[in-house]
Amino acid sequence: MLTNNKNVLKWVDEMVALTKPDQVVWIDGSEEQLNDLRAQAEASGEMLKLNQEKLPGCYLHRTAVNDVARVEGRTFICSRKEEDAGPTNNWMDPKEAYAKLGEIFEGSMKGRTMYVIPYCMGPIGSPFSKVGVEVTDSIYVVLNMDIMTRMGKAAFDQLGDESNDFVRGLHSKAELDDQKRYICHFPEDNTIWSVNSGYGGNVLLGKKCFALRIASYQGKQEGWMAEHMLILGLENPQGDVKYIAAAFPSACGKTNLAMLIPPEFYSKQGYKVWTVGDDIAWMRIGDDGRLWAINPENGFFGVAPGTNVKSNPNALESTKKGTIFTNVVHDLDNNTVWWEGLDKNPPKNALNWKGEKWDCEAGEKGAHPNSRFTAPAENCPCISSEFSNPQGVPISAIVFGGRRAKTAPLVYQSYDWEHGVFVGSIMASETTAAAAGAVGVVRRDPMAMLPFCGYHMGDYFQHWLEMGRKLGDKAPKIFNVNWFRTDDEGHFIWPGFGDNMRVLMWILDRCEGKADAVETPIGYEPKAEDINIEGLDIDLGTVKGLLEVDKDLWKEDAAGITEFYAKFGDKLPKELKDQLAALKERLDK
């Protein structure tokens, strides 16, 4: 037994009584225990050990064919009152959820081992950090949680013997029946139940389930923020580092920005970029009145396809050791892995993500489009020296972004915090061919939190407004970026990738009062000449075009915002209604 905490012991006993495992193993996080589990997973075929010379400590895993992604339609917020879940979440009455899932969980671990995983979200010893306990019948989950969290006895030490402040996570693969697959969150009970899935996003309960859905609710109750944001540090040649938190919906280059490589023009001068986090930020107000952030995670759960030496060399480097690959191609000749977009040399003798013989010439993709790597953050060449700092890092700027072909300019700054909350609340992306359904449809995703907010989004906006009031003049400045403006042929105009740093430089200059701005109907914009384009094959005229605000397009957008806001009824803060009215007024002038 790793803990004397009666709250933990009582809850684990209840879960054992419900699921009836043959044995219970407490995970202490020791290398000896983990190696034993890796060997078991290899023996059962759950994990394949890869070429240990080329990929030391790396394994390949395949999920069930019906179990390859997060299932938003089967994900529920089980708040006691339906209105507390809000119009953007699926709601189930907690009594009904416990009963319905209880029946599925009943005896689900017979003939199996239950693993009890204590884990800490955030650095051990940090006042920001929170403890969770996940019980599971999956070794894959244990080994992933080891990479993604601070797992093991140290987490129980952080919790202490008396505290009841831990998130209870129950997971069973059960039968992997997709008709009985549920991911249920009980915010008032600090509880998550996930059944009939083995896919990371549904079963690594520390990730989106705890670190966003439950933590966003905790943050509202306790006066802090859990956000779907990367955290990066930008170091100037004098050695000063300023930190930015940024939120983007999926497929908008979030991980690439988090691990940005400065363009040669900047790196020669001595500029550097440091990664604190690629996905989630927990932020609270420090003793100095500023907003401070930690990354609650300890690893990266990245999408493999498209990750390559050009798009994200640091992410690729992170996967070279101690990594679990899920649903990628198995190169049988080298016992390594491959995926679409890695390079132009697909293996000739290979198995696809389903484990079937795969012919790269036949036109079918070998890796699943949502195939993943789970890699330790410490592997990342640009990981920040502040990554495990228990105090976190101070945030100078908050950046929102989406994928808009014509509407949003390259960058603009909000007038103030309240207007910045408005800018975040109207965040949107246009669907690409990659997403199901029609192309070019505007999808609103406020603060990139639409699938991850654990309570009513109207209350969430209110919480943002209140945080701003507490921060006062120490609040970070808020910006919006759009790397995805296209010309009439549909080609991207801005080069993107490392060159996005040129925009971040203007953002930080604005935070420090070093750069001018032009007032527009939507916010403050740079003067075109203040975006450094040295070494790029675009001219000042192109930058002016990228910054252009088309009033007609924005009027169309304002109509879309009005429709979106209607969802939130009387829970929509008055401040945001007023901001929308003010935008319409400025566009009419």
Pull the structure tokens for residue 336. 């390594």
215-222 and 457-471 are packed helices; what angle lies between their axes, rounded to 10 degrees? Answer: 50
Low-confidence ranges of the chain (pLDDT < 70): 432-437
Alpha helices, DSSP H only, in 54-204? 82-85, 94-105, 139-148, 153-159, 200-203
β pairing state of 291-294 and 281-285 = antiparallel
The burial of 43, by beta-carbon neighbours within 10 Å (0-12 exposed, 13-18 middle, 19 or more buried), is given as: exposed
Whole-number Å distance between alpha carbons of 301 and 147: 9
The partner residues of 235 in beta bridges, in order of sequence, read: 241, 272
The three-class DSSP label of residue 177 is: coil
pLDDT at residue 440, as a whole number: 79
- The per-residue DSSP string of 329-376 comes to EEETTTTEEE-TTS-S---SSEE-TTS-EE-GGGS--SS-TT-EEEEE
The partner residues of 523 in beta bridges, in order of sequence, read: 520
pLDDT at residue 578, as a whole number: 98
Whole-number Å distance between alpha carbons of 115 and 223: 33
CA 540 to chain CA centroid, nearest Å: 35
Whether this prediction's pTM lies above 0.75 is answered by yes
Pull the structure tokens for residue 530. 């203040």
CA distances to 121, 425, 426, 437, 472 from 460, rounded to whole Å, are 22, 10, 13, 29, 19
Whole-number Å distance between alpha carbons of 141 and 129: 21
Tokens 């507390």 belong to residue: 84
pLDDT at residue 225, as a whole number: 98
Residue 265 CB-half CA count within 13 A = 12
Contacts of 209 (CB under 8 A, 6+ apart): 169, 183, 185, 192, 194
pLDDT tens column, 179-197: 999 999 999 999 999 999 9
Contacts of 70 (CB under 8 A, 6+ apart): 199, 201, 202, 208, 451
The burial of 25, by beta-carbon neighbours within 10 Å (0-12 exposed, 13-18 middle, 19 or more buried), is given as: middle
CATH of domain 6-46+73-223: 3.40.449.10
Whole-number Å distance between alpha carbons of 429 and 252: 8
Tokens 């050009």 belong to residue: 310
Contacts of 23 (CB under 8 A, 6+ apart): 113, 114
6-19 and 94-105 are packed helices; what angle lies between their axes, rounded to 10 degrees? Answer: 60
Whole-number Å distance between alpha carbons of 375 and 378: 9
pLDDT at residue 104, as a whole number: 98
Whole-number Å distance between alpha carbons of 294 and 579: 30
Q: Which of 58, 78, 252, 380 is catalytic?
A: 252
Domain spans of the chain?
Answer: 6-46+73-223, 227-297+385-588, 299-379
Whole-number Å distance between alpha carbons of 421 and 139: 42
Whole-number Å distance between alpha carbons of 171 and 418: 40
Are 568 and 87 in contact by the 8 Å Cβ rule? The answer is yes
Whole-number Å distance between alpha carbons of 155 and 134: 12
Cβ neighbours around 578 below 10 Å, total: 12
Whether 252 is catalytic: yes
Tokens 């949003």 belong to residue: 408
pLDDT at residue 251, as a whole number: 79
User: Could you give phi then psi for residue 54, rounded to 5 degrees?
Assistant: -85, -35
Pull the structure tokens for residue 369. 């489009």
Are 169 and 15 in contact by the 8 Å Cβ rule? The answer is no
CATH class for the region spanning 227-297+385-588: alpha beta
Residue 183 CB-half CA count within 13 A = 29
pLDDT at residue 436, as a whole number: 52
Whole-number Å distance between alpha carbons of 148 and 166: 17
Q: Which fold has domain 299-379?
A: Phosphoenolpyruvate Carboxykinase; domain 2 (2.170.8)
User: Could you give phi then psi for residue 350, rounded to 5 degrees?
Assistant: -150, 160
pLDDT at residue 285, as a whole number: 98
Whole-number Å distance between alpha carbons of 84 and 186: 11
Q: Extract the runs of DSSP E, i.e. beta strands, from 63-205.
A: 75-77, 90-91, 113-121, 130-136, 150-151, 166-172, 182-186, 191-195
Q: Which of 432, 446, 541 is nearest to 490 (CA)?
A: 432
CA 162 to chain CA centroid, nearest Å: 32
pLDDT at residue 78, as a whole number: 98
